[in-house]
Homo-oligomer: A and B are copies of this chain.
Amino acid sequence: MRIGEIAALAGVTSRAVRHYHQLGLLPEPERRPNGYRAYGLRHAVELARIRRLTELGLGLAEVKDVLADDAGRELVEVLEELDGDLARQEAAVRERRARLAELLDRARAGELPPEGPVSPELGRIFAAFGPSDSPMAAKDRQHLALFDSMIGNGDGDGGTDGRRGELLAALRPLADDPEFVRRVEGMYRRLDELADAPADDPRIAPLGAELAAAMPAELLRLMSEGDAEQAVRGDFGEAFLGDFAPAQAEVVRRMIAALTERARRADGG
């Protein structure tokens, strides 16, 4: 048999067969006078065996090991390890599909926020909050999405939902309160109006105070806790303020100052 024939027999390509030769999985057969490889039944048997193993999901190196030592010992070990791998893979794929399904649901309903796929709960909160034609609201959503990703990284794998859960618990009641939502929308609009204002605009002070009043203490606590603390307090904080126009940044600075002050007083007295 020539290489194409044995390959077709085993259901692989000629290239794959040559690859197995290169890796030493399959011995090189004799050559015909013209240089063609001349395969016999033995090779077909071996090739079929290789293919059965690879179809199970073994890597070629593992196949080689298994073929190498005649005892079935090694095979069992390899198979057990492989099963563990596959179990993990299956779980991962299933989780991805679950998230995908949820995303697709929302996407088809036209509810996809331009921030891309965030966690479902956050998505609902996004939907409730802010008119999408406010640049400030859009930016805020981006920041929230980022923060959501960050705390998603922080915790381990299992456990309950931890810090992300707290975040959502803090946000959800606000999103469900129409009165609060209206207030926030008004503030977004007023922040938008400060986009081109100088840093000493008179509208800054009252807006900062109002923001501080509206902002739940829980949020600030979450942002200055845990793994993200150093990030938020360090260069990240600067980056955060740098993302706003001067007047807007000033508002945020005042809000933070007011909140910090409030927390200090609550702590001290």
Given contacts A49-B115, A70-B114, contact A76 B239 (CB under 8 A): no
Is A180 in the interface zone, CB < 8 Å from B?
A: no
Q: Do the beta carbons of A100 and B79 come within 8 Å of each other?
A: yes
With a CB–CB cut-off of 8 A, which chain B residues contact A41? Answer: 143, 146, 236, 239-240, 242-243
Which among A16-24, A103-111, A185-193, A216-224 touches the partner chain? A103-111
With a CB–CB cut-off of 8 A, which chain B residues contact A51? Answer: 149
Q: Do the beta carbons of B9 and A49 come within 8 Å of each other?
A: no
Interface of A is mostly: helix
What is the CB-to-nearest-CB distance from A217 to chain B, in angstroms, rounded to a whole number?
A: 23
Count copies of this chain in the complex. Answer: 2
Q: Do the beta carbons of A235 and B1 come within 8 Å of each other?
A: yes
Q: Do the beta carbons of B40 and A8 come within 8 Å of each other?
A: no
Question: CA of A90 to CA of B80 in the docked complex: distance in angstroms?
Answer: 19
- Which residues of chain A (126-182) have a CB below 8 Å from chain B? 142-143, 145-146, 149-150, 152-153
- Selected from B11, B42, B93, B115, the residue in CB contact (under 8 A) with A90 is B93
Question: CA of A1 to CA of B100 in the docked complex: distance in angstroms?
Answer: 32
Q: Do the beta carbons of B79 and A116 come within 8 Å of each other?
A: no
- Which residues of chain A (41-99) have a CB below 8 Å from chain B? 41-42, 44-45, 48-49, 51-53, 55-57, 66, 70, 72, 75-76, 79-80, 82-83, 86-87, 89-90, 93-94, 96-97, 99
